[in-house]
Structure 1
Amino acid sequence: MRKLDAVGAESLRWYRPEAEDSSAGPTLLWLHGGGFFRGSPAQPEAHDVARVLADQGVRVVTAAYRLAPFPGTGPLRRRPGGPAEQPERFRLPLEDVTAAARAVSAQSPEGIVLGGASAGACLAAAAALHAVDDGTPPVGAVFAYGFFHAARPRESDPAHRSRGHRRITHAPWALDVANRNHAGTRRALVHRYAFPGGHDLTGFPPTLVVNAERDTMRTSGDRFAAELAAAGADVERHVLPGSAHAFLNRPGLPAFTTGTALIAEWMRRRPTPA
């Protein structure tokens, strides 16, 4: 895993509304994307999203997490002298996110919402599931164009597929390679904390899902929203017309404005703990 200067609770960046008061509502812990192997809280998908949401009255915290090596540069070798595979990589960023969530929760009596974009959405979903299992569920979850399954669901509308350079970088085989790289072992791919999609989601908190229209990952996002609803979660789902993957990483796009407005409005409706 790549070494970062600070991860988890040590990397927290707080974005507070200018007129924040005790009724500001829950805090959103927001995670950047990047295929699990790149990205940082400094990129627009984290910094600009948090800044704009704070301007709209939402308290936001971003955090770094340990990244996997670039796919193909960190081969999954077997340990010398034995058949066992390398340790599961997905547990390291998950540890960072859960540590960040605990730190934010300690300073957020109004509760915490876990959220993120793309790979960050998957990590936020895993951390939310982990918190549910621990009996300390967040008050909500927000996912933007996330990928939640170990392998891309094969049923999809060709019109929804990514275009331009993402036809290659987001091809099903490329997504499967990135997922294996994040999980660390073939066996780890099926762990519910590596990819929550397809697993028992009972007890999951109210969730907002915002997907891009032209996005190969949309199949996973749409299916995960359906799985959450089937598990009894209160799910609100939006698909932004004409949008493509990573629209939150481009603040000049209309989809960025629409997406952040949807998140801010949904956050303002979150109840606070009794």
Structure 2
Amino acid sequence: MFLDNCFMDVSIQDDQVDGPHGYIPVRRYEPVRTNGLTTAPTVVWLHGGGFFKGGLNQPESDSVALALAARGYPVVTVDYRLAPLPVVGRLSVRQRKLSNRYPVPVDDVLAVVQHVSDRCGGAIVLGGASAGACLAAGTALRYQHDGGRLAGVLLAYGFFHFTHPRSDKKHPRPRGHRRITHSRWGLNAMNRNYVGRISGPTDHYAFPGGGALQGFPQALLINAERDSMRVSAERFATELSAAGSQVERHLVTGSRHAFLNHPNGEHFSAGVELMAAWLETLQLKPLNEPDRTSVR
């Protein structure tokens, strides 16, 4: 299926990419006007949803892509295969093989990144939000180990550890249903559902936190203030810095997890502006620039 229209000076086209598990739906956002960004990197962007839900039409995918493309950056969003809904009880070997659990989503994203690289030949930034941020980080690590090169990685309120780390700080607690789904127990159960009912991740391409991160591309991390997943994101940023990567991180004050799913909110605008500012200076950063932290 192909859709071609123009919105906010952005040309939008639905397409598909051939991958190892079949076709992968993607959506391309091309700036009609480049705003002078003739060498702008292409952003491959991944939605969140706990690895088991979400798609190309959710605001965290579509609205973010539109906002970045309107600022002159080509964007490709990816409808990667989703793991099944979390269930209670033991899964058989056959059920695990029939599911789209890890490494299938990483395989999908890797195929799209390679396709974009072959097609455009320019710089690529891989990014995502929440579970999409974890996918982006894991795929970036695998792409690098396969000999690929990314211009950078863009991670919004992500989590990166198979076992969610405990906090030594007093972070604001989530409210409503997130008191359960975003509890440490709930997050660990979600991660086990993604990789299958095993004792731990098969490798650090599933959850790169705590792994060998040397050579990881320069990264932007944007965290929500009222977010239990912030503990993992902050630890991952520290791990990246210790491994020698350039890291810029920001905290959007007053925000909650998944604020990019609310395009009419002030926190959405703040997040997009941080992304655009980082993308604009991406090629200008000196290689030895230290970790930068700010609160917005």
For residues 30 and 169 of structure 1, the distance between their equivalents in structure 2, rounded to whole angstroms, comes to 24
Q: Give identity over the alignment, percent.
A: 49
Give the strand-richer structure, 1 or 2.
2
Q: CA deviation at 1:109?
A: 2.5
Q: 1:159 & 1:222 partners in 2: Cα distance?
A: 12
The residue number in structure 2 matching 1:235 is 247
Structure 1 residue 146: deviation in Å? 0.4
> How far, CA to CA, are the matches of 2:190 and 2:174 in structure 1?
16
What CA deviation, in whole Å up to 9, does each residue of 1:42-68 have, x standing for no partner?
A: 100000000011111111110111111
- Go from structure 1 to structure 2 and tell me whether the alpha carbon gap of 1:183 and 1:10 turns closer, same or farther (over 3 Å shift): closer
Contact 1:71 1:178 in 2 (8 A): yes
Confirm or deny: 8 A CA contact 1:113 1:140 kept in the other structure.
Answer: yes
Q: Report which structure shows greater RCO (CA 8 Å, sep ≥6).
A: 1
Tell me which residue corresponds to 1:163. 175
Q: Tell me what 1:63 maps to.
A: 78
Distance in 1 of aligned mates of 2:282 and 2:135: 21
- Say which SS state the counterpart of residue 128 (structure 1) adopts: helix
> In 1, Cα distance between the equivalents of 2:246 and 2:128?
18
Report which stretch shifted further, 102-111 or 118-127. 102-111
The alignment's C-alpha RMSD in Å is 2.2
Q: Distance in 1 between matches of 2:231 and 2:252?
A: 14
TM-score by length of structure 1 reads 0.90
1:52 has 2:67 as partner: yes
1:133-162 alpha-carbon deviations (Å, 9 max, x no partner): 112121100000001000110124333332
Does the 8 Å CA contact 2:56/2:79 hold for their aligned counterparts?
yes
Q: 2:29 corresponds to which residue?
A: 15
The alpha-carbon deviation at position 89 of structure 1 amounts to 2.3
1:184 Cα deviation after fit: 1.3
Looking at structure 2, the residues matched to 166 and 222 of structure 1 have their Cα atoms a distance apart, in angstroms, of 20
Q: Are 2:53 and 1:33 aligned? A: no
| Structure 2 stretches lacking a partner, 5+ long | 1-14, 285-296
Q: Could you tell me which residue of structure 2 aligns to residue 146 of structure 1?
A: 158
Find the aligned partners of 1:6 and 1:12 in 2 and give their Cα distance: 5
What is the rounded CA distance, in whole Å, between the counterparts of 2:101 and 2:161 in structure 1?
A: 16
| Preserved contact between residue 90 and residue 194 of structure 1 (Cα < 8 Å) | yes
Cross-structure match for 2:12 = none
Shift in Å, 1:165: 2.3
User: CA 1:86/1:158 → structure 2, altered by over 3 Å: closer, same or farther?
Assistant: farther
Distance change in 2, residues 1:187/1:89 (3 Å): farther
For residues 154 and 178 of structure 1, what CA distance do their matches in structure 2 show? 16
Q: 2: distance between equivalents of 1:27 and 1:49?
A: 14
Partner of 1:101: 113
User: What is the number of equivalent residue pairs in this alignment?
Assistant: 264
Match of 1:250 in 2: 262
The answer (yes or no) to whether the contact 1:160–1:218 under 8 Å persists in 2 is no
Q: CA-to-partner distance for each residue in 1:198-255, whole Å, 9 max, x for gaps?
A: 0000110110000000100000000001111110000000010000000000111111
Range with bigger deviation, 100-109 or 223-232: 100-109
Q: Is the Cα–Cα contact under 8 Å of residues 24 and 80 in structure 2 kept in the other structure?
A: no
**Maintained 8 Å contact 1:58/1:268:** no
